[in-house]
A and B are shown apart, each in its own frame.
Chain A
């Protein structure tokens, strides 16, 4: 059992966990018609407000890219940074590990540089792929800002990336390698994912509507979020997680949700809990026809028809891809803290073919344990269980 000692997040609805929770609880979406001047796709997106106006300060300027700007914005949270400083003081910088998730890291910088290389034959002066695009850039930049010196990993399993970080950190703590871990992740808007999902006809031309009868696909968002994990109980703690692979298809989930159900059962087993102990599931709920059908089948197989309150908060943040694991873990933690279930955003008419207990309006509840699901390309599934201290 690991306490979430401190957290921070930036997301399309604003900065900080309070704004994220308020937006989720009141169904205030951070999505808007594509505002990017470098992408002409007809889609709704979740851009983090102000990301274009926050270049990194001079000592860190070599790391500048859209992804690191999101990280930098998240790490302006003085309460979180102070908690990390105190953890470093308590345990030593080498005893604080870093496990982060991303799918595309700072690839937007390489897209810009590649276009210039294509046009002129030369890479832009000073372009540094190692400090922007590659997977290690995210972990090294974050370690540099937070002054931690423990073991590090960047996990990249598409949309389960920043959920799986909790399990890796837990193993490192249990093995005695570290006493505390910073987990989280960041993913930023880029042509690769926007055009990639468009090519698969998974990008909704309108606002995404998870679990709705009229859902047409995802709205892509961007975010960065972090949690400090330490042994012991906090107000909210990470209890256990479960992982699995679909072994079915690279970009389509298993139609009956076999892998998703296996991840949920593995999480319950690892937590020593039964389905009836879970009071809320924050679904992966991407709003593609196939994902929501598959996930509903998995939820029914684990919890029974309408067996547990479920909502997707991707209508608020968009699908933040490699960052959705941490963003939705933090929303789930807030649900436990507030003893309130956030509604499934942007619902017009719940899909009658999905036998789910969809949360359609925020409601108060008594909540001891809650679950967060995230599934990704390659059939990578991860379920987290968070709990509230008595």
Chain B
């Protein structure tokens, strides 16, 4: 068994019905299922990108960048100097569909679409938007993308002694790809984390611990709290929403997530 202790310095949230961390904490405190309007989530154009790039930014890019900007707003963290880990399942949303449609028909792939089809397009645009030359890593592990990304971010913070930006997001897939992967709504979160062993300066929202242990024979307890819609069960980033919800949960609450043959058990309580 291993333990990774960390501080959460800042967080941004963007999902239908959840426009901020405060909105998420309210929903978690209420505990009743979120009521969704059914309207598509408004995703702001990334103002930090040059105008040309801004127009071309896919919904996946807009989602990831909006979460980051929300997280670091009004904090002392300089977004141009943060190392980053992006965690996402399919990763590019409608761009993947556009590519497949083209390849099934004319095969005349657009030179503007192809670079947007790589998994690290949002992280690439993040670095361009914020002139950020620090390392950026992109983790994709299906429904366990958040679990794997959190482990990568915490071990990078520990190894470098620097804060790490973790962006866990799932853009929505369009039909017919959503028949195969039911990711029908965009969900995103951004976290600024540091390892307790190597503390950094800055405000602290929460103190957390990740316990890594063999799964044994018992399956992980269901991870989805009642306030999160059942339709988001297969979103890797809905697990990140549940994780932030621990800040509003009764003392002793934990979230257990599978990763390989392990269970990651996460606790996160508000900083005193």
Contacts and interface: CB of A to CB of B under 8 A. Distances in A.
B261 A93 contact: yes
A349 interface: no
Interface string B86-112: 000111000000011111110111110
Given A135-B140, A171-B158, A199-B109, A246 B133 contact: yes
A123 to B, nearest CB: 7
Interface residues of A, number: 69
B159 to A, nearest CB: 5
Interface in A186-201: 191-192, 195-201
A153 interface: yes
B137 A155 contact: yes
Contacts of A174: 155, 158-159
Contact of A151 (B131, B138, B151): B151
Contacts of B149: 153
B262 A149 contact: yes
A379 B124 CA distance: 6
Interface in A108-149: 110-111, 114-115, 117-119, 123, 127, 129-130, 134-137, 139-140, 143, 148-149
A89 interface: no
A32 interface: no
- The residue in B90, B119, B131, B180 that gathers the most chain A C-beta atoms within 10 A of its C-beta is B119
Interface stretch (A4-12, A156-164, A307-315): A156-164
Interface residues of B, number: 65
Interface in A337-390: 376-380
Interface in A257-271: 258-259, 262
Interface stretch (A23-31, A69-77, A209-217, A248-256): A248-256
A150 interface: yes
Contacts of A156: 91, 118-120, 138-140
B127 A154 contact: no
B103 A115 contact: yes
A320 interface: no
Interface in A216-264: 243-251, 258-259, 262
A61 interface: no
Interface string B62-75: 00000000000000
A330 interface: no
B125 A250 contact: yes
Interface in B231-272: 259-262
A335 B260 CA distance: 34
Interface in A74-93: 93
Nearest to A97: B260
A136 B142 contact: yes
Contacts of B214: 94, 149
Given A135-B141, A196-B109, A378 B262 contact: no
Contacts of A94: 214, 261-262
B136 A157 contact: yes
A177 B152 CA distance: 11
A117 B176 contact: yes
Contact of B107 (A195, A243, A244): A195
A152 interface: yes
Nearest to A251: B115
B141 A152 contact: yes
A247 to B, nearest CB: 4
Contacts of A198: 109
B142 A134 contact: yes
Given A177-B212, A199-B109, A251-B115, A152 B148 contact: yes
Contacts of B260: 97-98, 139, 143, 148-152
Interface of A: 93-94, 97-98, 103, 110-111, 114-115, 117-119, 123, 127, 129-130, 134-137, 139-140, 143, 148-158, 164, 168, 170-172, 174-177, 191-192, 195-201, 243-251, 258-259, 262, 376-380
17 contacts: A111-B104, A134-B90, A136-B140, A136-B145, A149-B260, A152-B259, A153-B149, A154-B148, A171-B155, A175-B155, A176-B2, A195-B109, A199-B109, A199-B110, A199-B111, A246-B127, A258-B133
Given A136-B141, A174-B155, A244-B134, 13 more contacts: A118-B105, A127-B180, A129-B180, A134-B142, A137-B142, A153-B139, A154-B139, A156-B120, A164-B137, A171-B159, A199-B114, A245-B135, A378-B115
